[in-house]
């Protein structure tokens, strides 16, 4: 299950994408629109900014905005940034690998094998689907 943090990030990004023509968007506007605690959202947007996904502007008329078009932001990138691994086991994670402590030999572990397939199936979607694909359907 994705954390609230990641879920909020998706909703915030959706709002930013759908209002990209209106210039910088206030944190407070997103918070209200999506029912997210403003202070919590602040931290999340900051992380997205530090990761190079969002830009910001201070002072009057300031706010946050996307630095790239929505179709260039894969969903996997957001999940990995805020939640970490996408794989179900540390020993099959591409970006957050950790050795399995309970099995003698990963090369021979059948769990490793199946969970690798689950990871691949998920990534096939999460790395090709982008912010553009989750905008409100109308």
Partner DNA sequence: CATAAAACCTATAAAAAAGATAGACTGTTT
Partner DNA sequence: AAACAGTCTATCTTTTTTATAGGTTTTATG
Task: Read off the tokens for 42.
Answer: 């602040």
Rule CB under 8 A: say whether 129 interacts with a second copy. yes
- Which residues neighbour 125 within 8 Å (Cβ) at sequence distance 6 or greater? 75
Distance, in Å, from the CA atom of 12 to the CA atom of 33, rounded to the nearest integer, reads: 9
Subset of 47-76 contacting a second copy (CB under 8 A): 75
Burial class (CB in 10 A: 0-12, 13-18, 19+), 11: middle
Part in contact with a second copy (CB under 8 A); list of ranges 21-29, 51-59, 61-69, 88-96? 88-96
Pattern 20-49, a second copy, x by CB under 8 A:
--------------xxx-------------
What does the per-residue mask of binding to DNA show for 2-41, with x meaning CB under 7 A?
-xxx------------------xxxxx--------x-xx-
């Amino acid at each position: 299950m994705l954390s609230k943090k990641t879920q909020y990030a998706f909703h915030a990004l959706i709002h930013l994408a759908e209002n990209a023509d209106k210039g910088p968007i206030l944190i407070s506007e997103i918070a209200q629109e999506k029912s997210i605690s403003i202070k919590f959202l602040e931290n999340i947007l900051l992380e997205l900014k530090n990761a190079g996904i969002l830009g910001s502007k201070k002072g009057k008329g300031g706010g946050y905005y996307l630095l790239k078009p929505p179709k260039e932001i894969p969903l996997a990138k957001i999940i990995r940034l805020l939640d970490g691994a996408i794989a179900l086991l540390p020993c099959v994670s591409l970006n957050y690998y950790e050795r399995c402590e309970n099995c003698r030999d990963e090369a021979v572990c059948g769990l490793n094998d199946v969970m690798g397939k689950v990871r691949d199936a998920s990534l096939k979607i999460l790395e090709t689907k982008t912010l553009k694909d989750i905008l409100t359907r109308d």
